[in-house]
Structure 1
């Protein structure tokens, strides 16, 4: 029912429904024998077919126009692409030229850098040495920093003791002031003592000269006594002598002889080897200067009885004290 009044589809005919049924006779082919050919379809079928073909043609024309527009657009795009490609080719050529120039420059720079590296090989060794020295210096600096840190700690500890040291310094200052005062006082006293000593030295020098004169007189008097005809072997001042000595016992003088004496001190008493006090001539030597003292003493029975003094000269002094002496003359 649905296919009533409609033509069969195009593929049902060998030529698509367009071949005439007597086309074979017209073409000279033998007329077909056999059953009769089917009847052609009605005109409505052809009209419908034509409408369909027309619609198809319009669709194809529209497609063709669309394709033509697309083709024109593609051609324009192709032209633009070609122009862009040409421009890009030019740019690429320029870029290639620039790259070649840059590559050449880089190659030249690389060659120069290689030459510089070869030239800086000694500098590299020196840099290695300097780096090693820098490490050594860094280690030394660390050691110095540690040492300074320790010294700083010690200094801080010492700084904590500063008040005590200041107190000690103040005490020493006061002590120095007292010592200065004492020294000034002693200087004043010493100046007076020096003046007195100088005066005493002058007196002692004159007394020593007088002692020498007395010694000369004693020697000359002894010679005169021996020459006066005394007995042979008689000693001076002996009871058996023919003549008495010139000075006699009026002055308590007896025979002259020499001996070594032990001295207690520079200003102490002195005795002969038998323990009797004598009149001695001494010169006391100290570590600073030589002091000459004259003592001419006439003793009686009292050993503490002293008379006038004359100069004496000591030998064997030690640390400013007389240890022994040899008298020039003495009277017993």
Structure 2
């Protein structure tokens, strides 16, 4: 395992750089207006009840807040529970699917896993000696994990994706090639489903949506404006999957819930207050990205190819005539 882990680190070093691994309290919440377009059926999303949102408090405790209805935020949160401690050592903690967590600090990335029964079976496994730079204050917003477990990273404006396999203790860096450039325009990215990325503009706080299909290796939409309000009022933005967004307000400490519909280009949920205060002091807030999912498969259909024709000869031409 040690030899394989060393090989993994060499692969990651070749995959990054890849040369070495607020408004006032009275400001209005984002007013979300549907983008113009033709009428179409609403997108379908499904969610599990009481999907968790995780937060790290000032003492480093990891708290779990069950959201009663992750589809629309109705009813807000049930009482929180403390499920771990010592997480203040990380500059950034991201929640992944299936009870996984990734902690970033100066000496690398550390993996945690919590079972469905509520116990920890992996605690603080170092999975990279690099990527710790994502835990620094200036880079915290440049990493997110989607519902499929892909870690999306923006470095020097370049967007890449890598995925950790806890069974083999290895990284899938097959998609670490640059998927796009110009992502330095955002001061925060958040994955809201498999391949669905929202970016918050560093200049004016406007929100843009993109969708990249890893199966077909192509963009289905890229940098599409979905809100012209200033989302810089929020300290954190994370997602339960299913095109949902959970945003915590910097000055009021409240938490608000949103859901975008890719088909209608409207916000059927916006904004729903799910937390009435106390979120600002949290070091990290991260919804579990697999609480919800978009039902429809958005992988583009493979292009049809005409069957190859045999070369035309005098014989075949005679038969054709």
TM-score band w.r.t. shorter chain: under 0.3
More helix by share: 1
Q: Larger relative contact order (C-alpha < 8 A, sep ≥ 6)? A: 2
Kindly name which structure, 1 or 2, has the bigger radius of gyration based on alpha carbons.
1
If the length of structure 1 is used for normalisation, what is the TM-score? 0.19
